[in-house]
Structures are given as structure tokens and as C-alpha cells.
Structure 1
């Protein structure tokens, strides 16, 4: 029997000896709507559907981990919305202007305005549902500074905002009796070429195959930054599932070359490999945390006396961004840190110092409880000493091309949250990721509810079901042939190879030579993937093999997009094209050509509304020194 091999684009197995699995040999679940991904975006979509009158039994939300265990919980610092709690002059148009400026004006202005208009009401809704927001002395939802924001508009729950938000959404979904299924790994979307029919999945506890027959599929399966060797996600999430599934189904990808490297990830050489790249929330800097290198003495860098200083050295952001300092845009701060380390002014462990010890202990323990507790467990008291940080891959600004309601070009297939593209442009404004999940969860939920009402009881289901089983059975046959293979190469090791080549050649700094070299290396990884050693369907190696398929697709898209964009803009910095080119105020679109290979095109971006343009023209900007 021959080993399974990859297609030219690395997107699926085609074992020569596979046989279709009969429908009697796998479970079939029928629902009108399938939501893939149980983080904030998926949960908010499902809630909106039921709020709009859709029967909960018509829905199914699936996650590949346990209930409530989603990447949302790792978004700690806050969620944006122009409530004006502390800065009454703030409004949604200024929030939109900040988002467009941070995105270097390759955002989709309509999607930006969708988010910023809706967020004040959505934050108040979360408050009504019981979210434990931090409060002002007057009992209002408190708001803090975040990088590159003109006003304090980031609402928060200590430094565990994502966790608290997801808990609130899960409780709401449970109260509405929305069905959920955990530990279900979606391996493929089933289409007839024009419309989505459902999805194929594997129960990772039992190894059983599951086909979900659905009229509508909503992809809320996260992003792709865990495809970098140093990243802020857990290794088994943000592995490109959402973008790869959509691309395989016929959707296009947009601007995937824009990968945000968060300035402050933990340093593994200091805290252990298991912590390498884990996020140190921007809230630390939002509450006044300062960055120091190890180049000069703290007293030389202080500019004054009477303050407790880091044992590191120069407060180097004074050289890079004297006005916005540590709260400049994430790409600016990340590149500054990377330069300090590269030029020998980093710590012995390969980072820089982040220090908030000038703040009172009570303040730190109240505003940053999870961070304080995490480092205390590692033997570091943030109230007394700095922590060591370095940039880490954090967020994919690009993703799937969708319309204003979140629908792709594949009829009935929607993509939201980090899986979709358009809101963030070339660099994401901190606090906007959670905002996007809420806003487009509501928008897409409303649109799908309206569509279901217009479609009636789902006429034509029998015809769709027959087509679903024909395609699902063939896919399950491929997966059955994959499991238990005694090949040469470990899929987890090949995933690590992908991560290494992206970090090396498509990281904070890129150039054309390195990107072309990475594409050549990716061909080598794909060749080795033709001879995998894979356990049975409950073995992690089987999961890694599926992840590898997603990784090869998305990594190629990132590299081709980065090679196409011959300029530097936001998080995309080409050392061979270091300037921003006005002619490149365009999006890079990745699709398929007539023979199934990747096609690279560009597309124009839109213009903001008159109200948002007025806010842009007004030139609002963060004054960091209000924090001093």
C-alpha cells in the first residue's frame, strides 16, 4: 500500500489506496447552522441567532478543545469601545480613525466602522449579562490607555478580560440552551463547488468520523500565528485552520502577509521553554510599564531622581518614539525591541526589561492580578523588579475575504473573528481583536437569522445531503488511509520546520531573497510530508498531520503575499523595500488559478465615510506623558 501524499498546494491527502467510507460507518448530524469555533466570535454569533428567533436546536457550535477553553481567554488587556467613561470627547469616529491609522490605511473602512459604531452598545450589553468589568469609583465601566489610541477607550476586567468575556458569553449561551460539542476537529468543509453543504470532522476522543449536514457554516476558528516558532498562542490553536479550510472550499485570502509581532512576549531562556513567547499583556504598558535595555545605568537614563528604576539601563523608547513612548503602535515598539537585542543591548537571556515597579503594589495587584500571579509563581515580584520580554508572533491581520455580513464567495460560508480579514489592515490596534469578535458575531448572526427566515424550512435538503455524503465519504476514506501509517517523518517535527522557516524568513524583518528561500524550503517540507509516520485517529500525531496540511497552505500564502508586497507597511517590514509606497495602498489577494495553484493579485481599498475622514483630519493622538 502506498503512503498518502500532498497535493501541489499542500492542502489535502490523496492516498492512492483510499476507499470511501459508507455513511453507515460515520455519524451524521443535521443542523441548519454549524458554527466552527467556540471562542468569543463563535459564541456571540450563536447567541445572536437565538436572540433573533432561531431555534437553538437548529444550531451546533463545535470546538476542538473543551468547552470554554478557547484562545479568547488569552486576550487579557481589554476590549475597545468609545464609552467616554474617562474621556467624554472620545467617540466611534475617533476610534475608527485610530484603527485606520494603526492599520496604515489598508483596512476595509466599512468593516472598521461596523466595529467601532457597535462597540459601545455591545460593551453595555456584556455589562448587563454580568461581565465583571473593572469599575471607576463612580461604578462606571473603567477604561485604560492602550497603544496608539487617542483616548482611554479600552474597557477591561483586571488583566483577564478575554477570560471574563468568554465566561460571560458561555453562560449566556448555556442559558439560551445552545447545543455545543467539544473535542471535534473539523478537517474539511464540504461544498458542491458553489455552496457549502456542511463539514467533515473527527472526534479526537474516540477517533470516530462525524459529518455535519448544514445549510450555513460560520468559520470562527481563529488565526495562524502559531505557525511561527515563537508565538503567544498555545501550540494547538491558531494553526491556520480557519483560513485553510475556507481556502480549500474556494474562498480567497487577503493580506495574510500582515502578521503582528507583539512587543512583549515572555523570554524562554529566562522563564523556561513552556513560557517562551507567552504574552505579557499590553495592559502592563497601558498602566505605565516602561521598557529598558541593559546598555546604560538606570540612574543615567532616569532624567531625574527619587524614582525606583529598573536595574536594566536606558529607557530606549525615548529614542524611537519620544511622544508616545511604550504606547506607540505595536509594530514600532516590537521593531525597537528587536533592534536593541540585535545590537547587543538586550539581556543575557535575549530580551529587554519591562518594569512597572514604580507603581504601588496595591495598584499592580488590583489592575494586573494575573500577570502578578504568573510571575510570582516563577519567582519574580513585579512590584519589586522588572520582567524580561521580547517580541512574539501574536495576531494575523489577514484572513478570509468576506462581505459586509461576513459571507465568503462560497454561498452559505461565513468567516468572522481572526479568521476573517479587513478590519485591522497592516497592524491591529490593541483591544480591537475582542471588539471584532463581538461586533461581527452580532452582524453575522443577524444576517444568518434573516437568511434562514427567508429560506423557510430549508427546502432541497435531501439533494444537498446526498452530495454531502458522497464528498464526506471520500474525505473520510483519505483520513482512514492516513491513520496508522508507518512512514519516515514525524508530522510534529515538520510543523516545527514550518514554524522555523516562517520565523526566520517572514518574521519581524523580511527581504525578497529570504522569502524566496523560504518558499524553496517549504517545497522540501511538503516533499517530506509525503512519507509521514502517523498513529491512529486518537493519537496526537494524527492531529499534527492535519495541522500540517493547514500549515503548508497558510505558510505558502504568507510567503507569497510578503514577496508580492514590495514596500514596508505596518507589521510588514521589507529591509529591501524599507519605505512605505503610496502606490501600495492596496490589498494582496491569494486565490486559486485554473489548475489549483496559488494565484496572487491585488485589490484596491475603500475610502472612509465623511464623519471618519473628519476625525482623521482632526489629527487626534495619544499623549503618553499623561501617564507620567
Structure 2
């Protein structure tokens, strides 16, 4: 069915507009099936029923709002919903509290002025626009920068244990390409501390959460959403979630590269594929951030290859040296040195390695041993502990690093005031979306976006429910009319049948083999340095790889990792093609997208690239970028810039 067939990627399996209502009525009235009242179940939330189409058994769960993704973005949306009187259901692919947010170690940006009182939100916005090479959505940037001081204070009030200055204020450190010390932190485990704080708040509010659930399809007619379909990863049982409001907060697609800072079973493009297939548009997929400092597997072991060495190491004064002992950033960025933009530092490291000045393990050296050991232990405890377990004392010797795929600036196109995607009832937030970061993300802004925009999206969905369900509140808000129509049920059962067929695949090639090939393909043909020939070769190889899925073999049932990786592969193939096509289309170098055949930034390319899909295939068009507000324009004109030598 659809995405799981080799010749049809991306697939668009939709209800037709007439199918989305049982009687085809234009006002959206649902007649449903008689007797489907279900029973209340507080664990899974809303109403729960069991159903079967004969061979397939599945549960039907109704909820006013379904939040897909249990990291910081999803949690913050859910908190706002609960505080507004709406009880959502949050679903995640992993155990409670185990989300990619925990891997964002170095800090979260907010212009508090704890150490540099000249800083304010307009300068934060200006730094973000400069880092994004001015194709960011100015509204998104300004909303994030303006909201963040209040959001950090909110996290503080909920118990997040920020590091403190001697006089008790929230401490802040330098991060790359920021004009002032703006990054708030909890040692080098800021993301973990943030998620713990948000999870505790969600528990206090009694927000229902269901773990180990994988969503594989949204119920959509291309104009509105009616829920989602997936399966329980522990039991293999099918799940049909009926909801008129679905929030995608399921991350990005950086794990589609050979070296990446994620785990292999996350950030495989789930959210972007789901949104595209549901009728939403994707934006700026060509922009993939390669973090300068990933661990080098040849030295530390394959399981550590690409794992992030937090930017906080450089923010606290870490220096980069090549194998010849040269502090090479003096050649590339004498003013900002190691704290220049991530794309600049990553390309510098890649060049040192490619020109033969790298280590024998294929990296360069990152050294913070000139700082006091107690200071390093205090500011970077997780890094000290990690490398200690590998036999390296970072307080006394350097570590080896090389660039790693880390973050995807591209994603779903949304209205940042509301999270709306253009498909009625479908919203998106966090790394799932594009717009805040433009062509390159400012370090410390990923966590900022999750809570700043997450709150706004939650507020908007509450307002939407209030306007449509004025006399129904609490757990029943928005569920009174959520019967499952025969057409919705039929679409879900088509997906369940497709998943069953996928699980029964008995060919000769394992999903992990094809995933590895896909990751190597993108690393080779759409990596840090690109050109048109390489990108087009990548598209040709992608078509061959897709054909090979006809010979897939899944080992185990729907509870197996093999089956999970097969679904991941389908998502990855869906996203890889538009990403490669967008990279071919953008004939310039800008931020993280560096074309060796077009090495200069072209002012005519100060636009966004929108990708949409229908039964006829993919289409790409350009859209102009808006203007920042007058206060932010003034900050841009003043030309604020980090002076690295403050750290010397």
C-alpha cells in the first residue's frame, strides 16, 4: 500500500473530500457507525474500542487533541492545552521522558542580560536572522526571541535547576555567532533538565501519555485531518486515533545521514513524511546542519560515531587544532575563531581533514585542557564523565572530533502564530517545522523554539476548541462528535493491511542494510559540500535503492526492531527525494547549503523553497521572505557581533 511499495514514493493515500464525511455533506457532519460509543479508559484517554476487519485487530481511541511526539515541543503544547482546560493525549515512540530533547546539552537562548545587560530580544532576533542568512521567517524569529525571557523564567518557576551566577541570577555562556552571553544552561545537560522539568509539569497536570506508539499515517483528505493510524510497538496491535486536532512534534531527519548525532531509530523524517502525505507543504529541506564537533568513531568505537560533543566545550573556551598542532580557525575566522557559525566551523574542519591535516582517525583535536580542571568539571560534567568512561581525561588532554549531521532547518511550513499547516486541524512545532532558523541554526535556539512556539500553538488550539465546543470542557472537550466514519475506518484498515504486508516481507535484503545505504548515499551526495552532479547522482541512486525495497525481508513481527526500521526506511525514502531535489534547485551557497559549483551567496536566491506532493508527484516553487520589524531592523543595522577574544 502506498508508501510501502517501491514505485510510489512519496505516496498520498487520502480520503477524498466526499469520503471524509459519512454522508458527503459539506458541513462536515459525521454519522459514523451505529453502536460505536466505546468505553472510557483514562490510561489511553478519551474513548476506547476494539475493532477488527477479520484478520486485523485494532483499537480506536478518541481524544480532543492528539500530540505526536513527547519531547520538549510536544510537552509544552500539551501543558498549554491542559492549562487551558483541554486534556490532550501525548504519544511517543519511546519510554516516558526518553526523547531527543535530552541530547541538546549546551543550553537554551534567552536575552536575560544576566552578564551582558546590553543584550535584548531584538539583538537575539538579529543574531538569529544573520545566522540564518536572512531567509528565516521574521515572525517566527521575533516570536521566539521575544517570548524566551518569559519562557526561561517559567521553566525556572517549575523547578528547572539553571546554573547561577555568584549573585544568584541565571548564568549565561557564549555560544557560536551570538553577540552576547545569552545561553542559559544546566551544566552540559540542559536539554535533559528541560525535559525533566516539562515532564514533571505535565504529570502535575495529569496529562495522559502513551509510550511506545509509532504513527505511520494521518487520516486526511488533503484539506483537513481526522486523526492518525499506527501501532503499539510492544504488542504490535493496530491503533486508530480519532481526533480533529493533531499536533506533529516528532523531530527532524538528520539521522538519514551516515554520521549523525541522533540515535538510529529517531529523526528519520517521520513527521515530515506524515505531513507531506496529509497535504501539507515542506519548506527549505536543503538546509541540514552539520555540527562541527561529533565524536570520531574510529577512535571511540562505532557506537559513539557522530555523537555530539556539545558546543558548550567551545563556549567555555575549547580550541581546535589540526594534526600539525595549528589552531587552524585563525585562518578561517580570526575574529570569532571557534565560536563562528556552525556551518563555518564545520566546513573549516572538513577542509583540514580533506587536505591531509586531520588525525589518523579522520578528525581534528578539540582541547579545553588549558582551563582549570575544577572549572571544566563544574561546567562540563557530562562530557568529563563520558570521556572518562572511554579512557580520556578532557581536563588534561584533547579529544578527537569531526562534523556530524545534527539538525534539520527544513521541515513543515506553518504559521508560527498558530502552528497551522494549511491542512485544517493539523499543526506542527519544534524541529518538525521550518522557519525559525533559515539557512543555519544558531546554537541554543532549538530548545528555545520548542517552548516559545509550543506555548503559542497550545494557546491557539485551545481557542479553536473553545470556539467549536463552548459548552463542553475537560476530558470530553472536542470528543462529543468524534465518531469514526466508515470511510475513515476503511482508510485506517488499508494502512493496517499495508503494515501487515510489510511485516510479512520475506525477500533477501534487511531494512537496516537499505537504511545504511540511504545514509551513506546522502552523506556522499548531499553532505557538507555539494554540487549538481553529485546531487543528481544521488537522485539516481535513490531510485535504485527504492526499487530494492521490493526484495525487503522483515525479521520478526510488528514488535521487532526489524519492522520498526522498515517503517523508518519508508519515511526516509519519502523525505530524501524532496530534500535532494530542493538542493539541486537552490543554485547558490547559503548557510549550511554549500554548493561548490555555486560557491557564492546570490541575492536573487533570498527565497524559500516550498515542496508539495499529490498523485502526480512532487512540485517545488519559490516564495519570498518577509521583512523584520523596525526594532529588529535597527538591531541589524547596528551590526552587533561576538568578540571571541573576550574568552582569552
State the TM-score bracket (shorter-chain normalisation).
over 0.9
Q: How does 1:106-255 map to 2 (within 5 A)?
A: 106-255=135-284
Tell me the residue number matched to 1:350: 362
Q: CA 1:205/1:460 → structure 2, altered by over 3 Å: closer, same or farther?
A: closer
User: What is the alpha-carbon distance in structure 1 between the residues aligned to residue 575 and residue 5 of structure 2?
Assistant: 18
Q: CA deviation at 1:517?
A: 0.3
**Contact 2:64/2:479, CA 8 A, preserved across alignment:** no
Counterpart among 607, 612, 615 of residue 627 in structure 2: 607
Counterpart among 371, 383, 390 of residue 371 in structure 1: 383
User: What is the alpha-carbon distance in structure 2 between the residues aligned to residue 182 and residue 550 of structure 1?
Assistant: 20
Q: Does 1:286 align with 2:315?
A: yes
User: What is the alpha-carbon distance in structure 2 between the residues aligned to residue 476 and residue 12 of structure 1?
Assistant: 16
Q: Does 1:77 align with 2:89?
A: no
Residues 166-210 of structure 1 show CA distances to partners (whole Å, capped at 9, x for unaligned) of 000000000000000000011111113321010101111011001
User: What is the alpha-carbon distance in structure 2 between the residues aligned to residue 71 and residue 78 of structure 1?
Assistant: 14
Structure 2, unpaired ranges of 5+: 15-51, 473-477
**Contact 1:11/1:552, CA 8 A, preserved across alignment:** no
Q: CA deviation at 1:320?
A: 0.4
Tell me the residue number matched to 2:594: 573
Q: CA deviation at 1:12?
A: 8.0
User: What is the alpha-carbon distance in structure 2 between the residues aligned to residue 598 and residue 228 of structure 1?
Assistant: 22
Q: Secondary structure at the match of 2:60?
A: strand
**Contact 1:9/1:596, CA 8 A, preserved across alignment:** no
**Contact 1:6/1:12, CA 8 A, preserved across alignment:** no
Q: CA deviation at 1:477?
A: 1.3
**Contact 2:178/2:641, CA 8 A, preserved across alignment:** yes
Tell me the residue number matched to 2:398: 386
Q: Does 1:474 align with 2:474?
A: no
Q: CA deviation at 1:484?
A: 2.2
User: What is the alpha-carbon distance in structure 1 between the residues aligned to residue 511 and residue 610 of structure 2?
Assistant: 29
Tell me the residue number matched to 2:48: none
User: What is the alpha-carbon distance in structure 1 between the residues aligned to residue 244 and residue 181 of structure 2?
Assistant: 42
User: What is the alpha-carbon distance in structure 1 between the residues aligned to residue 503 and residue 318 of structure 2?
Assistant: 49
Q: How does 1:275-314 map to 2 (within 5 A)?
A: 275-295=304-324, 313-314=325-326
Q: CA 1:483/1:360 → structure 2, altered by over 3 Å: closer, same or farther?
A: same
Q: CA deviation at 1:52?
A: 1.7
Q: Does 1:25 align with 2:37?
A: no
Q: Does 1:44 align with 2:76?
A: yes
Q: Does 1:413 align with 2:426?
A: yes
Q: CA 1:382/1:391 → structure 2, altered by over 3 Å: closer, same or farther?
A: same
Counterpart among 396, 419, 427 of residue 440 in structure 2: 427
User: What is the alpha-carbon distance in structure 2 between the residues aligned to residue 517 and residue 388 of structure 1?
Assistant: 32
Q: CA deviation at 1:538?
A: 1.1
Q: CA deviation at 1:53?
A: 2.2
Residues 17-43 of structure 1 show CA distances to partners (whole Å, capped at 9, x for unaligned) of xxx936982101110000000000000
Q: Does 1:493 align with 2:505?
A: no
Structure 1, unpaired ranges of 5+: 15-19, 296-312
Residues 557-589 of structure 1 show CA distances to partners (whole Å, capped at 9, x for unaligned) of 110010000000000000000000000000111
Give the root-mean-square deviation of aligned CA atoms: 1.7
The alignment's TM-score, normalised by the length of structure 1, stands at 0.94
**Contact 1:591/1:600, CA 8 A, preserved across alignment:** yes
User: What is the alpha-carbon distance in structure 1 between the residues aligned to residue 621 and residue 521 of structure 2?
Assistant: 24
Tell me the residue number matched to 1:308: none
The alignment's TM-score, normalised by the length of structure 2, stands at 0.91
Q: CA 1:252/1:22 → structure 2, altered by over 3 Å: closer, same or farther?
A: farther
Q: CA deviation at 1:486?
A: 1.0
Q: Secondary structure at the match of 2:239?
A: strand
Residues 92-136 of structure 1 show CA distances to partners (whole Å, capped at 9, x for unaligned) of 000000000000000000000010000000000000000010110
**Contact 2:218/2:227, CA 8 A, preserved across alignment:** yes
Tell me the residue number matched to 2:6: 6
**Contact 1:44/1:442, CA 8 A, preserved across alignment:** yes
User: What is the alpha-carbon distance in structure 2 between the residues aligned to residue 4 and residue 575 of structure 1?
Assistant: 35
Q: CA 1:451/1:23 → structure 2, altered by over 3 Å: closer, same or farther?
A: farther
Q: Secondary structure at the match of 1:349?
A: coil
Tell me the residue number matched to 1:553: 574
Q: Which runs of structure 1 show a deviation greater than 2 angstroms over 4 or more consecutive aligned residues?
A: 3-8, 10-14, 20-25, 457-468
User: What is the alpha-carbon distance in structure 1 between the residues aligned to residue 298 and residue 56 of structure 2?
Assistant: 52
Q: CA 1:4/1:337 → structure 2, altered by over 3 Å: closer, same or farther?
A: closer
User: What is the alpha-carbon distance in structure 1 between the residues aligned to residue 122 and residue 10 of structure 2?
Assistant: 43
Length, aligned pairs only: 601
Counterpart among 276, 295, 301 of residue 272 in structure 1: 301
